[in-house]
């Protein structure tokens, strides 16, 4: 059963009846959804709706109590976060989670950790295969740095950068893993208008030029409606609506869930 319209593209991620409880609190309840290959998929909903829990389940930080999550038809419900990263799912965090003491470049090279193969002893040796591998990875990281216009800041400690730039570096670090599914937890939260516009452009470029499938949580409705192919709306742990931005906007259940907060653009 698939409740996503359009069966043309293949399904990247299948969520099947996923549920998660914390003690007596039902954070996510019986959510089923498909994320199509190559799309931008947004998860929205009021605070406490279970959006981040959902993302944490996809990235392996939580395991669903019920149901399954399948990535490229692999059941990843009980796979740990580092293995999921190795499978090709990268993520960013709601609160900036850069390695603050490290440079932008080091942060991004760490993003490529999953693609690197040298062992402990070989990493002591800087020449030979280790160096060739290093150079190859470095080239790719430099491309990403270039793409995100961070060239001047490569050697700057990540913790010293302005907020919007840190968000951008975190995006770059996730991109460095060359993920086939990119999870973004509120990539534009706390940004000013200009920073938001930049971030929207980068997200769309990644999606269109590299064909990366993107799932994101975002509170800015304007942004969500602009960039998403499909939107899933959650409230109190349940999925209450899903469809194209226009369909979701017209759904009475969605309007009801948001009633009371007349301003949809929550200030983070």
Q: Which is nearer to another protein, 34 or 170 (CB)?
A: 170
Least distance to another protein, CB of residue 264, Å: 26
H-helix or E-strand spanning residue 214: strand 213-217
Draw the binding track, 77-106, toward another protein (x: CB under 8 A; -: no contact): ---xxxx-xx---xx-x---x-xxxx---x
**What does the per-residue mask of binding to another protein show for 116-135, with x meaning CB under 8 A?**
x-x-x--xx-x---x---x-
Number of H helices, E strands in the chain: 10, 10
- Phi/psi of residue 25, nearest 5 degrees: -90, 125
Residues 51-70 that bind another protein (CB under 8 A): 59-61
Nearest distance from C-beta of residue 253 to another protein, angstroms:
33
Q: Which is nearer to another protein, 60 or 237 (CB)?
A: 60
Other CB atoms closer than 10 Å to residue 72's CB: what's the count? 16
- DSSP class per residue in 110-178: HHTGGG----HHHHH--STHHHHHHHHHHHHHHHHHHHTT-GGGTTSBGGGS-HHHHHHHHHHHHHHT-
CA–CA separation, 165 vs 223, rounded Å? Answer: 19
CB of 91 vs another protein, minimal distance in Å: 6
Cα gap 148→171, rounded to integer Å: 9
**Of 16, 20, 51, 173, the one binding another protein by CB under 8 A:** 173
HSE-CB at 198 with a 13 A cutoff on CA atoms is 17
Whichever of 117 and 259 has its CB closer to another protein, that residue is 117
Which lies closer to another protein via its Cβ, residue 91 or residue 239?
Answer: 91
Q: Give the SS3 label for residue 16.
A: strand
Q: Where along the sequence are the contacts to another protein (CB under 8 A)?
A: 59-61, 80-83, 85-86, 90-91, 93, 97, 99-102, 106, 109-111, 113-114, 116, 118, 120, 123-124, 126, 130, 134, 173, 177
């Amino acid at each position: 059963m698939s409740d996503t319209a359009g069966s043309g593209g293949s399904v990247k991620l299948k969520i099947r009846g996923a549920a998660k409880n914390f003690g007596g609190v039902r954070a996510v309840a019986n959510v089923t959804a498909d994320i199509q290959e190559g799309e931008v998929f947004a998860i929205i909903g009021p605070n406490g709706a279970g959006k981040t829990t959902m993302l944490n389940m996809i990235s392996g930080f939580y395991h669903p109590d019920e149901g399954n999550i399948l990535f490229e038809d692999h059941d990843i419900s009980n796979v740990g976060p580092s293995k999921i990263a190795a499978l090709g799912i990268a993520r960013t965090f709601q609160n900036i989670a850069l390695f603050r003491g490290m440079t932008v470049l080091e942060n991004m090279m760490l993003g490529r950790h999953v693609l690197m193969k040298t062992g402990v002893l070989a990493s002591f040796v800087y020449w030979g295969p280790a160096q060739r591998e290093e150079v190859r990875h470095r080239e790719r990281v430099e491309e990403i740095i270039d793409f995100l216009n961070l060239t001047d800041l490569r050697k700057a400690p990540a913790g010293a950068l302005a907020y919007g730039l840190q968000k951008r570096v975190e995006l770059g670090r996730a991109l460095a893993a060359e993920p086939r599914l990119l999870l973004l937890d509120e990539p534009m939260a706390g940004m000013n208008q200009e920073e938001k516009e930049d971030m929207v452009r980068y997200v769309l470029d990644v999606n269109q030029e590299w064909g990366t499938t993107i799932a994101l949580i975002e509170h800015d409705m304007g942004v969500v409606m602009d960039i998403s192919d499909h939107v899933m709306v959650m409230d109190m742990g349940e999925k209450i609506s899903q469809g194209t931005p226009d369909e979701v906007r017209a759904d009475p259940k969605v309007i009801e869930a948001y009633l009371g907060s007349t301003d949809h653009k929550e200030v983070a």
